Amino acid sequence: MSIEYNPLDSWCLLHLEDSPLDHALVMRSLRKSGRHFSIARVETLHDFEQAITGAHFDAIVADYRLSGFTALDAWMLIQKKQIRVPFILLSGAIGEAAAVAAIKTGISDYLPKDDISKLHHVIERAIELHHIRLAKEAADLELARSEQRMASFAEHLQSTIEQERAAISREIHDDIGGALAAIRFDLFWLKRHNAELDAQEHIQAATDMLQQAIEASQRIMMNLRPAILDQGLAAAIQWLASNFSKRTGIVTGIALTHELGQLSKTVQLVAYRTAQEALTNISKHANCTHVRIDMSDAEDVLTLEINDNGQGMTAQDMEKQKSFGLRGMKERAKTVGGWLDISSQIGQGTSITLSIPLQQNLNMDGTE
Four-residue CA torsion sign, 119, 120, 124, 125: negative
Q: Do domains 11-140 and 227-368 have the same CATH topology?
A: no
CB 277, CB 328: distance < 8 Å: yes
pLDDT of residue 313: 86
pLDDT of residue 331: 85
DSSP structure string for 253-305: EEEE-TTPPPPPHHHHHHHHHHHHHHHHHIIIII--SEEEEEEE-GGGEEEEE
From first CA to last CA, the distance across the chain in angstroms is 44
**Which residues of the chain fall short of a pLDDT of 70?**
1-8, 93, 258-261, 320-324, 360-368
Range list of H helices, 172-227: 177-193, 197-224
pLDDT of residue 226: 75
pLDDT of residue 100: 84
- The 10s digit of each residue's pLDDT in 284-313 is 989 999 999 999 988 889 999 999 999 998
Alpha-carbon span 56 to 143, nearest angstrom:
28
Alpha-carbon span 264 to 260, nearest angstrom:
11
pLDDT of residue 173: 79
Alpha-carbon span 5 to 77, nearest angstrom:
26
Its CATH class, for the domain covering 11-140, is alpha beta
pLDDT of residue 263: 85
Task: Please check whether the domain covering 227-368 is classified as CATH 3.30.565.10.
Answer: yes
For the chain, the structural domain boundaries read: 11-140, 227-368
Range list of H helices, the chain: 20-32, 45-54, 71-81, 96-104, 119-171, 177-193, 197-224, 233-248, 265-281, 315-318, 324-334
> CA 319 → CA 182, 313, 322, 342, distances in Å?
49, 10, 8, 11
* pTM, rounded to two decimals: 0.56
Alpha-carbon span 197 to 182, nearest angstrom:
24
Alpha-carbon span 195 to 136, nearest angstrom:
84
Four-residue CA torsion sign, 168, 174, 176, 181: positive
pLDDT of residue 158: 72
pLDDT of residue 2: 39
pLDDT of residue 159: 74
CB 307, CB 274: distance < 8 Å: no
Nearest to 113, CA basis, from 61, 67, 77: 61
CB 303, CB 353: distance < 8 Å: yes
What single letter denotes the amino acid at residue 79? Q
> CA 163 → CA 68, 167, 222, 301, 334, distances in Å?
70, 6, 14, 27, 19
- The β-bridge partners of 16 are 42, 62
